[in-house]
């Protein structure tokens, strides 16, 4: 049973179906601990990246791209990564274009600290970024504020409904070029928390993901309330894409891919400092 002396951990993540699925057992208190008590805070990923620079939350979802900017305050958790294995953020346009056509174009992006933006710069360094909230990117393209849009979250599966055309799937491009999965999001935990608290948070996170993977129907029913404009089959597909065995434990492959990505970002002048990824389990 949970004890009154349990330490409160403010845990921040996106209001998305995949994050809701991942945190289901913790948010509904199916998992409890005598050491820690989770309080959930929901925010857009770009906001979470910015708050992490201030060390605002004990445990937070961040973009892998944001880690060099928060590494002085946070370590990464081995559980909770969102990984695209041969799929990922998608560049879309109102009319058919080739990936080469993106050169020099105005592209709506969901924030310059997102991994989607970093990957886009690696794939095509020459474009003008127009920063737009992730859920307004398709509108920005349709209203001609941008020539193309870089969509994340559920819009990766639903853009076709609005008549948009796929120009480039960054997860496909990454897999073909490097033969690696594309690490997009991670969970980070404050460095200065006591080691036993960090270990307990990692254990609970891993068990929460495992609970959802083992009890998919009830976890998906819970996650559906966060699935923007998606029917259950599509939400199930989306959750299945981004909550997988890499999410339960990143293993060795995901740190390798993420380190390579951040090193490339540094070499291209997109990331000011080179960092070594640190994971806690």
Which string of DSSP letters, residue by residue, matches 27-72? HTTSS--SSEEEEEEE--HHHHHHHHHTT--SEEEEEGGGHHHHTT
CB-based contact 161:179 (threshold 8 Å): no
- Lookup: tokens for 226: 């966060």
Percentage of the residues of the chain whose pLDDT score is greater than 70:
98
3-state DSSP assignment of residue 214: helix
CB-based contact 213:248 (threshold 8 Å): yes
CB-based contact 255:51 (threshold 8 Å): no
Angle at 56 between CA 54 and CA 62, to 5 degrees: 80
Q: Where are the domains of the chain?
A: 7-83+183-280, 90-178
- Please provide the distance, in angstroms rounded to a whole number, between the alpha carbons at the two ends of the chain: 23
CATH of 7-83+183-280, picked from 3.40.30.10, 3.40.190.10, 3.20.20.370, 3.40.47.10, is 3.40.190.10
In this chain, the answer to whether the domains covering 7-83+183-280 and 90-178 adopt an identical fold is yes
Average pLDDT of the chain is 93
- Lookup: tokens for 198: 């960090």
pLDDT of residue 248: 95
* pLDDT reading at 238 higher than 80: yes
pLDDT of residue 224: 87
Q: What is the pLDDT of residues 81-103, one digit of tens each?
A: 999 999 999 999 999 999 999 99
More confident position, 46 or 262: 262
Least confident piece of the model among 39-48, 61-70, 155-164, 230-239: 230-239
Q: What is the pLDDT of residues 121-177, one digit of tens each?
A: 999 999 999 999 988 999 999 999 999 999 998 888 889 999 999 999 999 999 999
* Residue located via tokens 């979250």: 153
pLDDT of residue 98: 97
Question: Which one of 13, 37, 65, 153 is the catalytic residue?
Answer: 153
State the virtual CA torsion across 14, 18, 22, 27 in degrees, nearest 10. Answer: 50
pLDDT of residue 44: 85
pLDDT of residue 1: 43
pLDDT of residue 155: 86
Closest CA to 24 of 223, 206, 201, 249: 223
**What does the pLDDT average to over 11-21?**
89
Confidence band for 2, pLDDT divided at 50, 70 and 90: very low
3-state DSSP assignment of residue 228: coil
pLDDT of residue 4: 61
Percentage of the residues of the chain whose pLDDT score is greater than 90:
83
Yes or no: domain 90-178 corresponds to CATH 3.40.50.1110: no
Calpha distance 147→17 (Å, rounded) = 28
Residue 153 annotated to the active site: yes
């Amino acid at each position: 049973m949970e004890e009154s002396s349990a330490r409160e951990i403010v845990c921040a993540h996106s209001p998305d179906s995949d994050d809701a699925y991942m945190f289901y057992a913790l948010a509904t208190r199916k998992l409890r601990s005598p050491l820690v008590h989770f309080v959930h805070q929901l925010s857009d990923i770009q906001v979470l990246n910015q708050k992490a620079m201030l060390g605002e939350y004990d445990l937070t979802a961040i973009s892998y791209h944001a880690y060099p900017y928060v590494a002085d305050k946070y370590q990464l958790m081995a559980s909770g990564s969102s990984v695209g294995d041969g799929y990922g953020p998608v560049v879309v346009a109102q009319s058919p274009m080739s990936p080469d056509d993106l050169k020099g174009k105005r592209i709506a992006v969901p924030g310059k600290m997102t991994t989607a933006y970093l990957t886009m710069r690696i794939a095509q360094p020459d474009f003008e970024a127009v920063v737009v909230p992730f859920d307004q990117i398709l509108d920005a393209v349709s209203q001609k504020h941008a020539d193309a849009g870089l969509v994340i979250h559920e819009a990766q599966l639903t853009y076709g409904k609005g008549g948009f055309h796929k120009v480039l799937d960054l997860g496909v491009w990454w897999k073909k070029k490097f033969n690696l999965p594309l690490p997009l999001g991670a969970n980070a935990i404050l460095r200065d928390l006591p080691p036993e608290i960090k270990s307990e948070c990692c254990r609970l996170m891993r068990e929460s993901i495992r609970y959802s993977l083992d009890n998919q129907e009830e976890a998906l029913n819970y996650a559906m309330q966060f699935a923007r404009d998606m029917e259950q089959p599509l939400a199930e597909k989306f959750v299945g894409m981004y909550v997988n065995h890499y999410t339960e434990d990143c293993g060795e492959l995901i740190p390798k891919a993420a380190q390579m990505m951040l090193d490339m970002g540094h070499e291209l002048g997109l990331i000011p400092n080179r960092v070594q990824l640190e994971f806690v389990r």
